[in-house]
Structure 1
Amino acid sequence: MDFDFTVEQNRFREELREFLKAEVPVEKQEVFGHLTEEQYQFGRHINRKLAEQGWLAIGWPKEHGGGGKGPIEQGILNEDLGYWRVPKSGSIGLGIVGPAIMVFGTEDQKDRYLSPIAKGEVEYCQGFSEPNVGSDLGSLELQAERDGDEYILNGSKMFTSYAFHADYMYLLARTDPQAQKHRGISLFIADLKTPGIDLSPLPYINGEMAAQTTFDNVRLPLSCLIGEENRGWYHAMTTLDYERSGLWRYANVRRVFDDFSTFCQDSAPDGGQPLADHPLVRHQLARRRLGMETWKLLCWNVAWMQSSGAVPNAEASIAFLYGSEERLRFAEMAMEVLGPYATLKTGSPMAPILGNIEGIHREAMHLHGAGTTEIHRNIIAQRGLGMPR
């Protein structure tokens, strides 16, 4: 792994940071566990401004509306957006849907879908999990029955993040009920305004609002099928690894850790000596700093592999799993150090660092996004270490 950026990459990072410094004031930055509609819309606004600079999809090829650079530049963008706490939007389209269409989509689909994603004009949600199907996606039950030039979808999806802001859903459905479970699944893009699609609110512990999405005789044209019929499982798994480098998530947590470290250098909330004067607190801060640096390198290793043409699989799971657990270790440590003050939510005048500790502690309990910790351990064992099932 090459730890150094090129001169051009460093110049891009400097320009990006100047942009964020000018465009993202503290009062607009996201607070963990407290994403408001105003903040979300501000995130969309920043995405459109980034697109005007040619930066939002800087790692995409120019012919698809991108900046013509690569995964390292995209990683620089994601890391700085996370550190500046820019409210997240557009991530499903940029990180998953776009790459899938580039690899498996038709020319017509590329022309139709990619440019709006690169311009920050549309939002996508992901329809994988179902009421009876979580980690074992191969057992999904949403049916897509072929009827002439259309597919008729019946069933439901669960834990649909961004559903109430999304224009489209990127989903998996079963097109051949007789095939083995990982076969007979196809990949679709559905316009959420299509008749028969209904959203029911489903609040998350981290403050976000997801949905249960119901499909009642929803008709999708053949042009909504991405890739080959009955090969959707393999198409989706090919592009999921690109979601898991996790530089935005790492930097978002790292910013709170850095703010917490600074807070500990100042007077304690009760006016006493700085928390960092206590040797046990200093020891915990040092341990978590090492953990954060390790997490950062694991994430950048994934981006570097992508830039080298390799497909990170076990490596992506290592970065994601380590990050999930390091986030929880930091949150628990901060709660212990701050005591009752750590339970104060944003808006309380006594809440340390805007209430981010309370919010990140709730967020850290969310250990199943993009695959449970058990799933990632299996990937590491089987695909990374060659162990049997």
Structure 2
Amino acid sequence: MDFRLTPEQRAFQAEVIDFIEHGLPPGWDQEFESLEDRLAVERDIMKRLAAKRWLALPWPKEYGGLGASPMQQMLFNEQMAYHGVPGTVNMGVAWVGPVVMLYGTEEQKARFLTRIADGTDLWCTLYSEPGAGSDLAAMQTRAVRDGDDYIINGQKIWTTFGHYADWGWLAARTDPNAPKHKGISTFAVKMDSPGITVRPLVNMAGTHEFNEVYFEDARVPASNLVGEENRGWYNVAVGLDFERSSIGATSNARRTVDDLVALLKERRGRTPDPIRHRMAEHAIGVQILRNLAYYIASQQEKTGIAPTREAQMAKLFGAELQQRIAATALQIFGMGGQAAPPGSRALRYQYLYLRSVANTIEGGTSEIQRTVIATRGLGLPRE
């Protein structure tokens, strides 16, 4: 593969960098006192991106995007993640919108897509349950048809940003007697509907990103069913296939390595060999992960499909690399990294270390990733 960018790709990359340097609201990269303050800035950034049709960059122009190629999307995500620009990870853009384009009615496309692309509506994903995480098809949340509505009962968990989402992308069981991967349907759910309760889950890093969501006789209009009833598993699978290059994880890891190298250079005295060697290993890992991400995007560009084996490899390798980098960062700061006072440079790495535990769990555990690589990627038989 030729990793050199075309003139057009370099020009687009330069345009993105210029926007980051000059087009973002003042103070966008500061520490925010509250989630509400951060959300206000994120919404501002989303509106600025939407004005350039960059929020839904790969979407067709008629739906508010620019019809960008996978490589353009990857270059955009790479720069945004490297510079830490918030408000660019958007579930509505990443998988809700693409699935609605494929399986939604014309009324649903008109109703949902424009408001996603222009940054008006934020979406959360209502998939995982206390007994259905890696084995997602084991979900038990029920949706029962009642006239012009479906009545929803059940519990979802690990719902990222469900506490400020306008809409939820819900997978629920509509036929309890069907085989596990059948009898599931997907719905667009207004998160402020009666019968929906969102409760916070504060993670070990002390931040509130996740939530439990309870459905107690919540009514969802039948017109919000997306795709065919009982065929929602295909919608879920297709949605998970979008944007799988892992370039965001790559860029985050690269930025952390770059910052740690700069920090070590600032210090007086010689950096101990164990730290120097780990940093060298991390730099190698970042380059491997970046090459994987570029390969995945190039294959998507050629075939329109993300290569499953490489996508799983990138997710697995990237999640574990981020954990290793975070552990090295904390070691660099020593005991001060474990009890960093407010305002300390070590706070960022303390958070990174604690938050990295989830990297190998969310979006598919490392064990599941290895199983998929072994079976679907290498063709090895199951036990």
**TM-score, normalised by the number of residues in structure 1:** 0.92
**Distance in 2, Cα, partners of 1:346 & 1:84:** 25
Residue in structure 2 matched with residue 136 of structure 1 by the alignment: 135
2:47 partner amino acid: R
**One-letter amino acid of the counterpart of residue 28, structure 1:** W
Aligned mates of 1:34, 1:260 — CA distance in 2? 25
Structure 2 counterpart of 1:242: 242
Alignment of 1:262-341 (within 5 A): 262-267=262-267, 272-275=268-271, 278-308=272-302, 309-341=304-336
Q: Which residue of 2 aligns with 1:358?
A: 350
Q: Quick one: distance in 2 between partners of 1:109 and 1:382?
A: 37
Q: In 2, are the aligned partners of 1:90 and 1:124 still within 8 Å (CA)?
A: no
CA distance in 2, matches of 1:35, 1:79: 27
* Conservation of the 8 A alpha-carbon contact between 2:45 and 2:87: no
Deviations 1:21-60 (A, max 9, x none): 12458953277x9984322321221121011112222211
Q: Please give the residue correspondences for 1:127-206 in structure 2 after superposition, counting only pairs within 5 Å.
A: 127-206=126-205
**Matched residues in 2 for 1:305 and 1:339: separation?**
43
Percent identity over the alignment is: 37
Unpaired runs of 5+ residues, structure 1, are none
In structure 2, the residue matched to 1:372 is 365
SS of structure 1 residue aligned to 2:334: helix
Query: Is the contact made by 1:187 and 1:235 (CA closer than 8 Å) also made in structure 2?
Result: yes
Q: Distance in 1 between matches of 2:264 and 2:361?
A: 31
Q: Is the 8 A contact 2:296 2:310 kept in 1?
A: yes
* Pair 346,105 (structure 1): closer, same or farther in 2 beyond 3 Å: farther
**Aligned partners of 1:341 and 1:351 also within 8 Å:** no
Q: Deviations over 1:315-370 (max 9, x none)?
A: 2111111100000111112222321232254733x434xx2211110111112111
- Map Cα deviations across residues 107-144 of structure 1 (whole Å, 9 max, x no partner): 22111111111111111100111122221111101000
The Cα shift of 1:13 comes to 1.0
- Distance change in 2, residues 1:105/1:274 (3 Å): farther
Compute the displacement of 1:230 (Å). 0.8
Which is further off, 14-23 or 161-170?
14-23
Amino acid at match of 1:360: L
**Kept in 1: contact 2:142–2:173 (CA 8 A):** yes
Determine the C-alpha separation between the residues in 1 that align with 2:270 and 2:39. 35
SS in 2 for 1:365: helix
Distance in 1 between the 2:281 and 2:142 partners? 49
Shift of 1:97: 0.7
In the TM superposition, what whole-angstrom CA distance separates every residue of 1:131-177 from its partner, at most 9, and x where no partner exists?
22221111101000112222111111011111011001111100000
Mapped contact 1:184–1:230 kept (Cα < 8 A): yes
Number of residue-to-residue matches in the alignment:
379
Contact 1:34 1:359 in 2 (8 A): no
| Higher RCO structure (Cα 8 Å, ≥6 apart) | 1
| Residue correspondence of structure 1 range 9-28 to structure 2 within 5 A | 9-24=9-24, 28=28
Q: CA contact under 8 A between 2:168 and 2:191: conserved in structure 1?
A: yes
C-alpha deviation, 1:73, in angstroms: 1.1
Partners of 2:117 and 2:150 lie apart in 1 by 28
Normalising by structure 2, what TM-score?
0.93
- Counterparts in 2 of 1:260 and 1:27: CA distance versus 1, 3 Å: farther
Between the aligned partners of 2:33 and 2:259, the Cα distance in structure 1 is 17
Specify the alignment match of 1:78 in structure 2: 77
The 8 Å contact of residues 25 and 44 in structure 2, kept in 1 or not, is answered as: no
